[in-house]
Amino acid sequence: MKIFIDSAEIDEIKQTYEWGVTDGITTNPSLLKRAVDRRVAGGEKIDIRKYLETILKTAKGTPVSLEVTERKAGKMIEQGQRLYDMFNRVAKNVYIKIPVNPSFSEDEDIHFDGVEAIRALTRKGIPVNCTLIFTPEQALLAAKAGAKFLSPFAGRVDDNLRKKMNIDFDKSEYYPEGGMARNDAVVDDNGIVSGIDLVRKCVQIVTHYGLESEVLAASLRNPRQVREAALAGAHIGTLPFAVIKNMLKHEKTYEGMKSFTRDIVQEYADLK
Ligand code: E4P
């Protein structure tokens, strides 16, 4: 599974590329706002164009997703094209992120504007990452429209299921892949029992029909969920910096390091 960093913080991005563990970057409007607000609060003046250019260069040719902020098909297409023209020349690695359905509610019927924008941008040769996927059928339509990446939001599925059960939770807490039961029945959202269940079903559809899209497991919140996304066959997982850092931690690794260090044969360590 390829690992993307889910961040708009340049220092975090640089660090993971220095470690050599990242294969791409995803941003979204909230991540960008957080990064910009933090710098502005620290007294920095931000030139957003230069800031994004630095992110694109840091990615060393690997994909960077930039999300549109418009919601109507025509406007999304225009903005997607504009962002692509403005930034793809920097390092040839821009993917435009389009929501699978930009409606704010069932009543606001712009349900297919995202799919329309995906189709139009794809036809222009602009690669699209389709975001905010919560059902396998949304993923199927996005794939048919030509999206290169399909982003199911695993963590937010788990948040939603826990809310249904009135469970107090911390977002980074593990939620079982097989779901949780209440009154002898596994709690689900239209047949989806966990975020990883959603990822697995998206992968199954893509694989079954030999679709060209890659499943990008998004909204991953802890290392065990990353493992399960990989085992479910996700092509890509996008991880916050904190999750990447937590992936190497294990008490037995620390213990082993202490004993190996204690047992060093000095002549061996000094070999030149
Ligand atoms: C990435 O593409 C998504 O925007 C991101 O993973 C969402 O994560 P969150 O649900 O933790 O905000």
262 CA distance to ligand 1 centroid (A)? 43
DSSP, collapsed to helix, strand or coil, labels residue 231 as helix
* Atom 8 of ligand 1, nearest CA residue: 219
198 CA distance to ligand 1 centroid (A)? 15
Task: Return all residues near 8 (Cβ < 8 A) that are at least 6 apart.
Answer: 27, 31, 32, 34, 35, 36, 55
238 CA distance to ligand 1 centroid (A)? 8
Best probe residue, ligand 1, of 132, 161, 238, 239 (max atoms within 8 Å of C-beta): 238
pLDDT tens-place values along the chain, 272 residues long = 999 999 999 999 999 999 999 999 999 999 999 999 999 999 999 999 999 999 999 998 999 999 999 999 999 999 999 999 999 999 999 999 999 999 999 999 999 999 999 999 999 999 999 999 999 999 999 999 999 999 999 999 999 999 999 999 999 999 999 999 999 999 999 999 999 999 999 999 999 999 999 999 999 999 999 999 999 999 999 999 999 999 999 999 999 999 999 999 999 999 99
Task: Return all residues near 97 (Cβ < 8 A) that are at least 6 apart.
Answer: 26, 27, 28, 65, 66, 67, 68, 128, 129, 130, 131, 151
Identify any residues that bridge with 34 across adjacent strands, giving them in sequence order.
Answer: none
pLDDT tens, position by position, 142-199? 999 999 999 999 999 999 999 999 999 999 999 999 999 999 999 999 999 999 999 9
pLDDT score, position 33: 96
